[in-house]
Structure 1
Amino acid sequence: MDWESIGAGVGYGVVAITVIVVTALVVTLFVVSIGGDYHGPTEVDPYRRDDDPRLPRIDE
């Protein structure tokens, strides 16, 4: 093997590792950023009226 093919192989390897690391970082940051959006409601819904005794109950 000559130095040119060795350098090309190392270059392709570095580019491949860089693409994998950047993709993993982007996916991780995306998952972390939307992580709080899927935990359900954290406070009482002000429009929910199930507990108001003045309203008739609708049993489903």
Structure 2
Amino acid sequence: MDLLIAARHAKGLTQATLAARLGKPQSYVAKYENGERRLDVIEFLDITDAIGVDGRVLLDGLTETPP
């Protein structure tokens, strides 16, 4: 979830703003960001769309090996 949090921060969005874009309560965002809730692929894509980033780019970041 670190990638989603970083993407949200990079776009200057609060959890509440993102939740409003998703039509969900703020607790929805807080729970997946805190690891209390898992996301399925459709939810992940909805979230990246609401943030304004390409979900494929974020997924590619998961497979990159840190230096």
Which of 1 and 2 has higher RCO (CA within 8 Å, sep 6+)?
A: 2
Tell me which protein shows more helix as a share of its residues.
Answer: 2
TM-score by length of 1: 0.20
